[in-house]
């Protein structure tokens, strides 16, 4: 084997890994995070969890990604350890699908159908179709399909390139002698585990083993322990991802490792035990890529069937090995959105939306309490509003940082729009909360210095506060439910609130001039109506964001100019209705 064969082998490996990564990433984009959402919602029993783990892994071609996602579920308290056990078992079976796809490279025969099934026949065609979709289609879905086809074609071409590069090794006795050493179960398992740990993909390491079968030096006795070791090596990325997580997430990663180790030990004991007693006639037979796929599938299905009834027992064992530390549990603080969800940007955006919905409800609650607070001072509400504001600030800091990380990824147009919408919403909800605190400070000063407004001033504030309560309720509901129709009611109400503010300023200025109100009281009154008006402004920002981004753009000024035009009958009708509803008499 010359240096050129080695370079060809490395090139084939590079294409293989790139194709696998491109295909998996494009499949994830095409799913738009839906597969992960299904996993999250449909694991109420372990059998269903196994099936879902199998299907999702087979689709996105990565058991590591699914298992890391499971660790994220547990770390975020979305699921418990018992719920993800089925997912992990199913993921181990699902990863064997790749080996079956790669086994196509071992097809032999001269028939037309067999020729068409060979990667050398269909890979160039798939690559061409994929490139056409990527270059000439403006639709994200078709572009993703093109990337899947191109990734699969590159994967198969890389597989064929590796096979061609190592084929000369069949005439090298030294290579055969080295492989014979791996028929030792311990060495074989260690070799498989090490290879998979280094390249961080059990599917890729199985593919390499399948490529080596063209040398004719891989027998069942060599392949069996290596494949078992590859399953153990697949736990490395999951163990790494569990660093810095809570106890349950660590238990999840440990379960994945223990599940594979126990399965390997049982399989080794049975395989070599039976061989020692009765002798297995096929143990020294040479294998092809399809045989590797069979061994890989049988082992993972066998392990799941054997250990499935003991899932609860294994769960308890994880709690025995990793015990709870009460002191650590009390001092630990959970993150809002787990960074492991970044594996699938669409799903990560879904989780940010969930947290942003919570932020919206908290901001609404703070404004409602602040408005009620104007009537009667309450120390309990004072403390609660301040506490909620700290939580809102924490939401903004963490979610914005998380969105920045997502924005650095390769997003489709739909996800880019969603990310932009969330980023605008987070800032607006945080500012709405700030104005709630401004109202609190004003009322606290009035309570401390025993300042009271006149009956007319209180009546006017009551009307404006009702309008503000409606606009915050409508904008929050419109954001959470992505309700475009409800969002379109926000701007007419915001204009009415602007009008109310102007009228209240004029009325109160007149009271000050007539001596019915002091200048200091007037300043406090103006602070309150300014805070009300600014809350309405941010609600308007939210509504414009919801409406504009639903249409694939974000042109605030052009939208507002168009919607407020005198020939916009719907806007004028709503505006007039709100004017009547909140008329100051």
Q: How far is CA 358 from CA 364, 476, 477, in A?
A: 10, 10, 12
Using CA atoms, how far apart are residues 128 and 238, in angstroms rounded to an integer?
Answer: 36
**Rg for the chain, CA atoms, rounded:** 32
Using CA atoms, how far apart are residues 324 and 329, in angstroms rounded to an integer?
Answer: 7
Mapping DSSP to helix (H, G, I), strand (E, B) and coil, where does residue 43 land?
coil
With b for 16 or more beta-carbon neighbours within 10 A and e for fewer, the 86-97 pattern comes to bbbbbbbbbbbb
> What confidence score (pLDDT) does residue 313 get?
92
**548 CB-side CA count, 13 A:** 19
CB 96 within 8 Å of CB 60: no
Using CA atoms, how far apart are residues 385 and 431, in angstroms rounded to an integer?
Answer: 14
- Counting every residue written for the chain, the total comes to 585
> What confidence score (pLDDT) does residue 244 get?
76
Extract the tokens encoding 556. 């605030």
Using CA atoms, how far apart are residues 266 and 296, in angstroms rounded to an integer?
Answer: 15
Q: How far is CA 461 from CA 238, 302, 466, 527, 585, in A?
A: 57, 72, 9, 12, 12
> What confidence score (pLDDT) does residue 562 get?
57
Using CA atoms, how far apart are residues 393 and 407, in angstroms rounded to an integer?
Answer: 21
> What confidence score (pLDDT) does residue 332 get?
43
> What confidence score (pLDDT) does residue 331 get?
41
Q: 317 CB contacts (<8 Å, ≥6 apart)?
A: 258
Whether the full predicted model's pTM is greater than 0.85, yes or no, is no
Q: At what angle do helices 46-60 and 63-75 cross, to 10 degrees?
A: 130
Other CB atoms within a 10 A radius of the CB of residue 110 amount to: 6
Other CB atoms within a 10 A radius of the CB of residue 161 amount to: 20
Mapping DSSP to helix (H, G, I), strand (E, B) and coil, where does residue 491 land?
helix
Cβ neighbourhood burial of 448 (10 Å; 0-12, 13-18, 19+): exposed
> What confidence score (pLDDT) does residue 333 get?
46
Extract the tokens encoding 236. 């490395």
Q: What is the pLDDT along the chain (585 residues), one digit of tens a residue?
A: 578 878 888 888 888 888 877 887 787 777 666 767 777 666 667 888 898 889 888 877 778 778 888 888 888 777 888 888 989 999 999 888 888 887 776 555 555 565 556 667 778 888 999 999 998 888 878 888 898 889 888 888 888 888 888 777 776 777 667 777 888 999 999 999 998 888 877 888 888 888 888 888 889 999 999 999 999 998 888 888 888 778 888 899 999 999 999 999 999 999 999 999 988 888 989 998 889 999 999 999 999 999 999 988 999 999 999 887 655 444 444 567 888 888 788 888 988 999 999 999 999 999 988 887 677 777 888 888 889 999 999 999 999 999 999 988 888 888 888 898 899 999 999 999 999 889 888 888 888 888 888 888 888 999 999 999 999 999 999 999 999 999 989 999 999 999 999 999 998 888 888 887 788 888 888 999 999 999 999 999 999 888 877 776 655 555 555 565 556 788 888 889 999 999 887
Using CA atoms, how far apart are residues 39 and 48, in angstroms rounded to an integer?
Answer: 10
- Tally: H helices and E strands in the chain: 27, 0
Extract the tokens encoding 209. 């083993």
Using CA atoms, how far apart are residues 211 and 570, in angstroms rounded to an integer?
Answer: 68
Mapping DSSP to helix (H, G, I), strand (E, B) and coil, where does residue 258 land?
helix
Pick from 8, 56, 61, 63: which is nearest to 33 by CA? 56
Mapping DSSP to helix (H, G, I), strand (E, B) and coil, where does residue 302 land?
helix
> What confidence score (pLDDT) does residue 32 get?
66
> What confidence score (pLDDT) does residue 452 get?
84
CB 350 within 8 Å of CB 31: no
> What confidence score (pLDDT) does residue 58 get?
83
Using CA atoms, how far apart are residues 78 and 146, in angstroms rounded to an integer?
Answer: 34
């Amino acid at each position: 084997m010359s240096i050129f064969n080695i370079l060809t082998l490395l090139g084939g490996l590079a294409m293989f890994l790139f194709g696998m990564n491109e295909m998996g990433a494009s499949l994830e984009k095409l799913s738009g995070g839906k597969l992960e959402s299904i996993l999250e919602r449909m694991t109420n029993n372990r059998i269903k969890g196994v099936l879902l783990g199998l299907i999702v892994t087979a689709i996105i071609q990565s058991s590591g990604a699914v298992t890391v996602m499971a660790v994220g579920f547990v770390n975020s308290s979305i699921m418990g350890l018992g719920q993800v056990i089925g997912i992990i078992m199913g993921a181990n079976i699902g990863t064997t699908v790749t080996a079956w796809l790669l086994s196509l490279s071992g097809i032999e025969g001269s028939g037309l159908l067999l020729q068409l099934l060979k990667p050398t026949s269909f890979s160039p065609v798939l690559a061409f179709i994929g490139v056409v979709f990527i270059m000439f289609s403006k639709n994200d879905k078709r572009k993703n399909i093109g990337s899947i086809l191109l990734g699969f074609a590159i994967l198969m071409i890389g597989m064929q390139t590796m096979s061609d590069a190592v084929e000369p090794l069949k005439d090298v006795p030294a290579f055969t002698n080295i492989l014979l050493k791996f028929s030792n179960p311990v060495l074989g398992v260690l070799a498989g585990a090490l290879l998979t740990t280094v390249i961080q993909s059990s599917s890729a390491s199985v593919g390499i083993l399948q490529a080596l079968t063209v040398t004719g030096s891989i027998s069942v006795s060599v392949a069996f322990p290596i494949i078992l070791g590859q399953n153990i090596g697949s736990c490395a990325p999951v163990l790494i991802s569990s660093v810095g997580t809570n106890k349950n997430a660590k238990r999840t990663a440990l379960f994945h490792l223990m599940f594979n180790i126990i399965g390997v030990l049982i399989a080794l004991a049975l395989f070599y035990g039976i061989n020692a007693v009765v002798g297995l006639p096929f143990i020294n037979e040479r294998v092809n890529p399809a045989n590797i796929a069979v061994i890989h599938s049988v082992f993972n299905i066998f392990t799941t069937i054997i250990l499935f009834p003991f899932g609860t027992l294994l769960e308890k064992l994880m709690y025995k090995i990793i015990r709870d530390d009460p002191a650590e549990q009390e001092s630990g603080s959970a993150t809002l959105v787990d960074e492991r969800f970044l594996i699938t940007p669409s799903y990560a955006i879904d989780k940010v939306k969930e947290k942003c919905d919570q932020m919206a409800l908290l901001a609404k609650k703070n404004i409602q309490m602040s408005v009620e607070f104007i009537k009667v001072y309450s120390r309990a509400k004072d403390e609660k509003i301040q506490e909620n504001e700290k939580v809102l600030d924490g939401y903004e800091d963490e979610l914005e940082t998380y969105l920045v990380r997502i924005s650095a990824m390769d997003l489709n147009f739909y996800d880019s729009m969603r990310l932009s919408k969330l980023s605008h919403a987070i800032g607006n909800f945080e500012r709405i909360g700030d104005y709630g605190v401004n109202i609190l400070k004003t009322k606290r000063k009035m309570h401390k210095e025993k300042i009271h407004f006149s009956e007319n001033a209180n009546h006017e504030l009551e009307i404006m506060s009702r309008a503000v309560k409606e606009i915050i309720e409508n904008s929050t509901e419109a954001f959470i439910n992505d309700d475009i129709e409800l969002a379109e009611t926000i701007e007419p109400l915001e204009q009415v609130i602007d009008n109310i503010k102007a009228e209240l300023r004029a009325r109160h200025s007149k009271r000050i001039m007539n001596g019915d109100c002091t200048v200091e009281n007037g300043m406090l009154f103006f602070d309150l109506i300014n805070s009300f008006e600014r809350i309405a402004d941010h609600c308007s920002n939210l509504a414009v964001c919801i409406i504009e981004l639903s249409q694939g753009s974000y042109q605030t000024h052009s939208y507002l100019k168009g919607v407020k035009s005198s020939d916009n009958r719907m806007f004028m009708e709503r505006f007039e209705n709100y004017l009547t509803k909140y008329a100051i008499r």
